[in-house]
Chain A
Amino acid sequence: MHELSLCRSLIDLLQQQAAVSHFSRVKQLWLEAGPLAAVEPEALKFAFTAASQGTLAEGAVLHLIECPGRAVCRQCGTESAITQWYQACPECGEYQLQVLSGEALHIRELEVE
């Protein structure tokens, strides 16, 4: 359910951006969501449809950009891709991965008019 409050924040951010960049409608937006971001992409899309009703982003298409997560093993130093919190290091098998990226939840691009 917190996807809805994040989408309300998103609409606020779009309104602030609209004032600065002089646009009145958002037609499409591209969201970068890391595999470790605490959101479910489909729930986010659903919540966005609800939260954007009657706003400058009503009817806008939300695209998701997949961005890979990376982690480094504290045991052996190997860097690897990570898709969930409890992954073992593919090199040494230890559960000692320190996450480097994958928690992002950013709007990267807008198509506006």
Chain B
Amino acid sequence: MCGICGCGQADEHLHSHNHAHDHTHEQGSEHASQAQRRLQVELDLFSQNNRYAEANRALFTARNLLVLNLVSSPGSGKTALLSETLKQQLGQLPVAVIEGDQQTHQDADRIRATGAQAVQINTGKLCHLDAHMIGHALEQLPELSDGILYIENVGNLVCPAGFDLGEAAKVVILSVTEGDDKPLKYPDMFHAARLMVLNKIDLLPHVDFDVDACIEYARRINPDIQVIQLSARTGEGVSDWLHWLNHQRQQQIAARVERLENELHKLKAQL
């Protein structure tokens, strides 16, 4: 859709209105197919990714899946946290993981060692997962429904922020062995995330990391960001994370029930 007048993207407009930017206007010729001419367009560079993301989101909704996009810098402990999480959740509800890395299958192997299903995507030279890759990875999880799908993004605090995968929320994981000012240095990611997990808190006595300052920085970027402090290694705080996951899932189910009840109500009114 064209945001200027609401017409289809294919429409073009005659060059008749004022511009905020300066360039000279050349009159279009009658033989427009050969001559130079100006077209007003509305081409969103993220539109292709967003179309795939919406298709993924529709599929997640249809399958009643809570999908979380886990993002962080390399080495924050995403895979360790996921392994601990899966050990707690396996047998209780369907869970699976899509693993994104530039190379190797090591993370997917670590996840599979817990007994959970994992699909590895190798992005090669690419620095992020995109919605199209996720769509194909889903083909390998045809049975997954009524549970949680974790997407472990490529370790990178920059690029994955801009790419919607169709997830319910982004979760940014920051370990205390990194700087407490990372939210200020990589604001896009902290702005995009619903939850910040501070991992490796068992190491706090040994590092120069100010937890309160870090949380305050994150809230400067994103006043609504939620925070959980934990150690995937010792298990401290992991119950808060599991509780948060359960709460997200309950909220999502409640919202779906409300939508379905409304739909049912409308249909009954037509009887």
Contacts and interface: CB of A to CB of B under 8 A. Distances in A.
A2 B162 contact: yes
Interface string A16-58: 0100111100011011000010110000000000000000000
Interface in A88-113: 88, 95-96, 98, 105-113
A21 B12 contact: yes
B42 A106 contact: yes
Nearest to A30: B21
Given A5-B126, A107-B45, A84 B187 contact: yes
Interface string B1-31: 0010000011010000001110100100000
B194 to A, nearest CB: 15
Interface residues of B, number: 48
A65 B26 CA distance: 19
Contact of A17 (B26, B34, B41, B184): B41
Given A2-B163, A110-B38, A111-B36, A10 B43 contact: yes
Interface stretch (B46-54, B65-73, B138-146): B46-54
Nearest to B19: A109
A22 B163 CA distance: 31
Contacts of B163: 2
Interface residues of A, number: 40
B264 to A, nearest CB: 35
Contacts of B130: 5
A110 B190 CA distance: 34
A88 B47 CA distance: 31
Nearest to B160: A2
Nearest to A84: B187
The prevalent SS among residues of A at the interface is: mixed
Contacts of B23: 28, 30, 63
B189 to A, nearest CB: 9
Contacts of A9: 45-49
B118 to A, nearest CB: 24
A95 B223 contact: yes
16 contacts: A1-B159, A2-B158, A2-B159, A20-B10, A23-B33, A28-B23, A38-B161, A63-B21, A65-B20, A65-B21, A74-B223, A85-B222, A98-B223, A105-B45, A107-B41, A111-B39
A13 B158 CA distance: 24
- Top 10 closest A-B pairs, CB basis? A85-B187, A38-B162, A95-B220, A20-B10, A107-B43, A2-B159, A1-B127, A110-B39, A86-B220, A113-B36
Contacts of A72: none
Contacts of A95: 219-220, 223
A8 to B, nearest CB: 9
B20 A106 contact: no
Nearest to B192: A38
B128 interface: yes
Given A21-B10, A95-B219, A2 B127 contact: yes
Nearest to B36: A113
A40 B125 CA distance: 19
Given A5-B130, A95-B220, A108 B10 contact: no
Contact of A112 (B36, B46, B220, B221): B36
Interface string B97-108: 000000000000
